[in-house]
Amino acid sequence: MNKKVPIEISARHIHLCQKDLETLFGRGYQLKKIRKLSQADDFAARETLDIKIGSKIIKRLRIVGPVRKETQIELSITDAVGLGINLPLRLSGNIKGTPGATLIKSKKKLKIKRGVIIAQRHLHCNPKEAKKLKLKNGMSVSIKIKGARALTFHNIKVRIGKNYKLAVHLDTDEGNAAGIIKKGKGEIILKTCS
């Protein structure tokens, strides 16, 4: 069975809830789509924000739409080191007990109490793909990547959704380690009992 899977690199970004979007951009504001992303209705928006954590600022953080239930910022370990903070490794949406930040758009500032994470590497697939590949929601798999910087990533969480399309999401640190700039290919390795 072919267990090849596309790999996509996810750069740092922010998801906004509607309330926070309107606080920063105005009542009834709608994000402007510049590029569709591979999963469901996700898109890269034209809009960016600066974020401040402590005394350090990351400029022009891309907003990814559509709006979410809660505002969330996904950074890399390299970003966290630059900010001088420890960030928790979490699956998207799991922001309980995470640090906050100040969101900045021109002269407007909005402090969020939580939501800054390092995104756990994960694999998206729909139920049909999951069945074919013998994957279960929440299970961990490994992905083997060939090439000049060949390596195997472990602890990749499977996320199954009816509108998902098969793809592994790595952050920029992980992509750089494997020599993948935007997109690549890997092979799913399932854990077996010995």
Q: What residues contact residue 47 under an 8 Å CB cut-off, 6+ apart?
A: 25, 31, 32, 63
Domain borders along the chain are 12-119, 121-189
Rounded Cα gap, residues 5 and 24, in angstroms = 38
Residue 61's identity, in one-letter code, is L
Each residue's pLDDT tens digit in the chain (194 positions)? 569 999 999 999 999 999 999 999 999 999 999 999 988 889 999 999 999 999 999 999 999 999 999 999 999 999 999 999 999 999 999 999 999 999 999 999 999 999 999 999 999 999 999 999 999 999 999 999 999 999 999 999 999 999 999 999 999 999 999 999 889 999 999 865 44
